[in-house]
Amino acid sequence: MLLSSQLFKDSFGTEDMRAVFADRRLIERYIEVEVALARAEARIGVIPASAAAAIADTARFDVLDMERLKRDTENVGYPILPLVEQLSQACGQDGGYLHWGATTQDIMDTAVILQLRDAFGLIERGLDTLRASLAKLAKQHRDTPMAGRTHLQHALPITFGFKAAIWLSMLDRHAARLKELRPRLLVGEFAGAAGTLASLGDKGLDVQAALMRELDLGIPAIAWHSARDNLVEAVQWLGLLTGSLGKMAQDIMLMMSTELGEAFEPFAQGRGASSTMPQKRNPISCEVISAAAKAVRQHCALMLDAMVQDFERATGPWQAEWIAIPESFVLSAGALEQANSAIGGLDVDSRRMARNLGMTQGLITAEAVMMALAPHTGRQAAHDIVYSACRTANTTGGHLADILAGDQRVSSHLDANRIKHLLDPGNYLGQAPQMVDRLLQQRC
């Protein structure tokens, strides 16, 4: 109900993506395949050209009785037989050539591929927008220092541009994967009852090739009625995409926490508000992304399970795809829309980032002192000396610079000014800015 709910459907999906998988569009795709098949068969000489022309002129959604189609589909278990019956009646005598040599799954599988072509076009546009926003953030904040965190604790200084560039790198790889995936996915299915095209004799492969040219799809090397890795790969790609969006959302949600306050979803009057706490600014887009990503991951598992199909045509796993594919695409489109909203207007508080860098009074750059001391004492001894100083700082609340300067084992090698310089987070960003540059340059 969520994806069709008047309350929630536009939070967890988009109108454009829902339209791709709506009943009308799906049935129109079925009809498109049937008409293309008639044209292909006429071109090869399997059916009369006049019949193909009549089918093309008559077979359309508006001639259907949808209540009858619904009732008959529930009875038969599949929509193609009742659809062909209605279209054949509408086409009169020429309708006898409709669905010639095809089987139900040929039409449905090919229609799904046409749907996915449209769906991935929508996803790609949203992905390109998000990547552009992240590239802008990475460049803008190339040198904006902030605390890097491991195990939810301060680790070493990084820059916010570095973080944004890491997010971007994931999405760039997904874009590359999508480009690689398309030729494998956009291949139609037309193989007949058991996949051998037996009903068309020696014209089968010619008809198959002509049909795929009509639809601008790849020609299958062999039937894939029960070899579903292509569709599984498509949904797994969505799992990768939404997994990355979920990681970004997780980071932003944590950065929005009161204790950090380093970045926020864009402000809109009333968005993220609490019914009782006026101060709240909750991470709404990120919460939706996180939930959608979890749901898509479940569908990834369902699709993997549905790969295990019996013999040449499956008894059940095929229907599981009818659930997983549309919902995965709608949820992914919704998550991508929310991500574009959050990233496109992300409110970055660089002053708070700087303040958080200093909250541990030098501890975040303890490694810098250790590495500077190591040539004099050996690395392990330097580690133990600085480790002890860090424990003292934690216990007493003092600044690490003062504690280190008061330790003769350190001060005999590093003076106070040197220690202070080493503990400045801005001096220990490593190659983070340069890595941002490299990523952005490689994308050009």
Query: Given the structure tokens 């909250």, which residue do they identify?
Result: 359
- In SS3 terms, 227-294 reads as CCHHHHHHHHHHHHHHHHHHHHHHHHHHHCCCCCCCEECCCCCCCCCCCCCCCCCCCHHHHHHHHHHH
Name the pairing type of β-strands 263-264 and 347-348: antiparallel
Non-local (6+) Cβ contacts of 40 within 8 A are 207, 210, 211, 213, 214
The pair phi, psi for residue 344, each rounded to 5°, is: -60, -25
CB atoms within 10 A of CB 247: 16
Are the beta carbons of 142 and 434 closer than 8 angstroms? Answer: no
288 CA to centre of own chain: 14
DSSP 8-state symbol, 397:
-
How many degrees, rounded to 5, is the angle at CA 151 between CA 146 and CA 154? 30
| Catalytic residue of the set 50, 199, 274, 388 | 274
363 CA to centre of own chain: 37
The pair phi, psi for residue 147, each rounded to 5°, is: -80, 125
Annotation says 274 is catalytic: yes
What residue type is 128 in one-letter code? D
What residues form DSSP beta bridges with 149? 154
What residue type is 115 in one-letter code? Q
DSSP 8-state symbol, 308:
-
Q: Helix, strand, or coil here: 190?
A: coil
Annotation says 151 is catalytic: yes
Give Dmax over CA atoms of the chain in angstroms: 102
Supply the DSSP string of 90-117, one letter for each residue.
Answer: HHGGGGGGTTTT--HHHHHHHHHHHHHH
Non-local (6+) Cβ contacts of 172 within 8 A are 131, 443
Q: Which active-site residues does the annotation give?
A: 151, 274
